[in-house]
Amino acid sequence: MQHSNRHIVILPGDGIGPEIMAQAESVLGRVNDVYRLGLSWEHQLLGGAAIDATGKPLPESTLRAAQNAGAVLLGAVGGPRWDQIERSIRPERGLLAIRSALGLFANLRPAMLYPQLAEASTLRPEVVSGLDLLIVRELTGGIYFGQPRGVRTLESGEREGFNTDIYRESEIRRIARVAFELARLRHRRVLSVDKANVLEVTELWREIVSDEAKKFPDVSLSHMYVDNAAMQLVRAPKQFDVIVTGNLFGDILSDEAAMLTGSIGMLPSASLDANGKGLYEPCHGSAPDIAGQDKANPLATILSVAMMLRYTFKEEQAALAIEQAVAKVLDSGLRTVDIASAGSKIIGTQAMGQAVTEAVC
């Protein structure tokens, strides 16, 4: 079913954010025309740019627009200019606040390695070339939010720190459902990662995920302990399709999977709410060291547009068109400096964005 709300809020943000977003917007405009998607969009402020204009990292007007939109597309926020201001109104707070206000509990981190870039990985090309997996991480529960938490002083005077890993059935069920539904758009295989041999909370996790799987008979489910999953990710990462896991394990495994691809400028991500509304953004930050120099790789943001079309707007053909356009441009040997290798032609942010825009068909 198509998402009925076809309006997008674009938050370019800071540093390289506006540069990479301009290119993503160019590609979005092109697919919107070619595939007659009927999407509309507006710009709003977030992060340092919002602090400069309004004094707040997440102005009311931005939040209201994001709440009313079908999807949000974000560049990146933050930079040294705002590092000295009070912690509670720093740019990154704006990002955390918008994620929590929108109830985005499912974090999707694909790790895809275009065969043309296999040399960029630290693993052997034959192990990673063509890698295409998706990690679905629970984002609003588990040990990062569980109570009680803190550091207390014992009678002996020694201090101890403690956190609580806690998941309700309903929280497990809804993230499992997201994973199964996403698997239907891919190769219909879900792997649930837990530590059910040691942690009761993940024993329940395994039980509920297995129960939810009964509603998706066309998707296969398997389970793996997190220590084994960490090993398998570097041993044979191409065995995975969709991996679903809790907040802590997902945090670690998604960074491990990202590193398999060797290039932070290529990785998109999404965070979804219960109705498929999503915030889409590249995995990297605002890269202040290269901001304003036409050096940033816009492909992670462009690929975030593809994710948005696929997961929120259910426009698979248009999403594929973007991914294929990126592949075509890489095939032609064009590279931004971060993904360059011997024999490639180095181009800037704008030229890369234009090459992808022109390759969309």
Give the footprint of ligand NAD on this chain (CB under 6 A).
16, 76-79, 92, 95, 264-265, 281, 284-290, 296-297, 300, 338
**Contact in structure between 217 and 184 (CB atoms under 8 Å):** no
38 vs 95, 278, 285, 315, 347, CA distance in Å? 28, 18, 30, 11, 32
Alpha helix stretches (DSSP H) within 90-225: 91-101, 125-128, 169-183, 200-213
Alpha-carbon distance of 199 to 163, in angstroms, equals 14
Catalytic residue among 33, 83, 227, 331: 227
Alpha-carbon distance of 32 to 36, in angstroms, equals 5
Nearer to ligand NAD, 201 or 260 (CB): 260
**Residue 133 is encoded by which pair of tokens?**
């997996």
**Contact in structure between 23 and 353 (CB atoms under 8 Å):** yes
Nearer to ligand NAD, 142 or 353 (CB): 353
CB of 275 to ligand NAD, least distance (A): 23
Catalytic site includes residue 251? yes
**Residue 300 is encoded by which pair of tokens?**
């992670």
Nearer to ligand NAD, 16 or 201 (CB): 16
Catalytic residue among 14, 194, 195, 295: 195
CB of 132 to ligand NAD, least distance (A): 21
Alpha-carbon distance of 100 to 337, in angstroms, equals 35
CB of 123 to ligand NAD, least distance (A): 20
Catalytic site includes residue 144? yes
Catalytic residue among 132, 144, 225, 294: 144
Catalytic site includes residue 331? no
Alpha-carbon distance of 112 to 156, in angstroms, equals 52
Catalytic site includes residue 311? no
CB of 83 to ligand NAD, least distance (A): 7
Catalytic site includes residue 338? no
Alpha helix stretches (DSSP H) within 184-315: 200-213, 226-235, 247-261, 299-311
CB of 75 to ligand NAD, least distance (A): 7
Alpha-carbon distance of 229 to 191, in angstroms, equals 9
Residue nearest to ligand NAD (CB): 285
Alpha-carbon distance of 293 to 271, in angstroms, equals 29
Nearer to ligand NAD, 216 or 265 (CB): 265
CB of 324 to ligand NAD, least distance (A): 21
- Residue with the two structure tokens 């929120």: 312
Nearer to ligand NAD, 300 or 305 (CB): 300
Nearer to ligand NAD, 286 or 312 (CB): 286
Catalytic residues: 144, 195, 227, 251, 255
